[in-house]
C-alpha cells in the first residue's frame, strides 16, 4: 500500500501492516555544506572536488547520514509522524549519493506490537531506482490515549 499523505500523525491505533510513506529530495551542494557545518564532519570527500576526484568515488558525495536523515524525516513527519520517538535504527550504505541526485526515501510498516506502541519499519533510499541505503527502524508511535 503506497499512500503518501504528508505531514501529520498516524496514531498506533490507525497504523496498518504494509502502510508506506515516502519523500523525494534533490541533494544540493548547500545541503552538503550545511550538514558538514551542523555535524562538524568536514571530510573533504564531501566538500572538495579536487580531493574527491582521487577517491574511489571519483567525485564528491553526500554524507551518508544526510541521506539517512531523509528516512528520519519520513518517520518524523509522516509515518507515524509528529510525536514519534526513535528507539533504534540500523543502516547499510550501498552506494554513494552525489550532489544533484534525486533521493527517494521510503518507510514501510513490517511489524507492530500495538500494546507497547512499537512499530518496525523497513527503510530504504534509492537514486534512479537503485538502493543507496537500506535499514530497519523501531519507533514508539503516538497514541490517542496520550493526547
For 47-105, the pLDDT digits (tens) are: 999 999 999 999 999 999 999 999 999 999 999 999 999 999 999 999 999 999 999 99
Residue 86 pairs in a beta bridge with 139
pLDDT score for 94? 98
Please give the average per-residue pLDDT across 27-33, as a whole number.
Answer: 98
Please give the average per-residue pLDDT across 13-36, as a whole number.
Answer: 97
- Outline where DSSP puts E strands in the chain: 20-26, 85-93, 102-113, 118-127, 130-140
Q: What is the pLDDT confidence band of residue 8, given thresholds at 50, 70 and 90?
A: confident
CA distance 100 to 96: 12
Please give the average per-residue pLDDT across 96-117, as a whole number.
Answer: 98
For 120-142, the pLDDT digits (tens) are: 999 999 999 999 999 999 999 99
pLDDT score for 145? 81
CA distance 94 to 137: 17
**Residue 2 above 50 pLDDT?**
no
Helix ranges (H only) for 3-146 are 29-39, 44-47, 49-53, 64-77
Please give the average per-residue pLDDT across 108-117, as a whole number.
Answer: 97
Domains of the chain: 12-146 (3.10.129.10)
Q: What is the pLDDT confidence band of residue 1, given thresholds at 50, 70 and 90?
A: very low
**Residue 3 above 50 pLDDT?**
no
**Residue 38 above 50 pLDDT?**
yes
Amino acid at each position: 500500500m503506497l499512500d503518501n499523505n504528508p505531514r501529520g500523525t498516524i496514531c498506533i491505533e490507525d497504523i496498518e501492516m504494509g502502510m508506506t510513506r515516502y519523500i523525494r529530495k534533490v541533494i544540493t551542494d548547500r545541503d552538503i555544506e550545511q550538514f558538514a557545518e551542523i555535524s562538524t564532519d568536514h571530510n573533504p570527500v564531501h566538500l572538495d572536488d579536487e580531493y574527491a576526484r582521487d577517491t574511489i568515488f571519483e567525485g564528491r558525495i553526500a554524507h551518508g547520514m544526510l541521506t539517512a536523515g531523509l528516512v528520519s524525516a519520513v518517520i518524523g513527519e509522516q509515518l507515524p509522524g509528529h510525536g514519534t520517538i526513535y528507539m533504534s535504527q540500523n543502516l547499510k550504505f550501498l552506494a554513494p549519493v552525489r550532489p544533484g541526485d534525486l533521493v527517494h526515501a521510503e518507510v514501510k510498516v513490517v511489524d507492530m506490537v500495538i500494546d507497547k506502541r512499537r512499530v518496525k519499519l523497513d527503510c530504504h533510499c534509492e537514486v534512479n531506482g537503485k538502493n543507496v541505503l537500506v535499514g530497519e527502524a523501531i519507533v514508539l508511535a503516538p497514541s490517542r490515549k496520550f493526547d
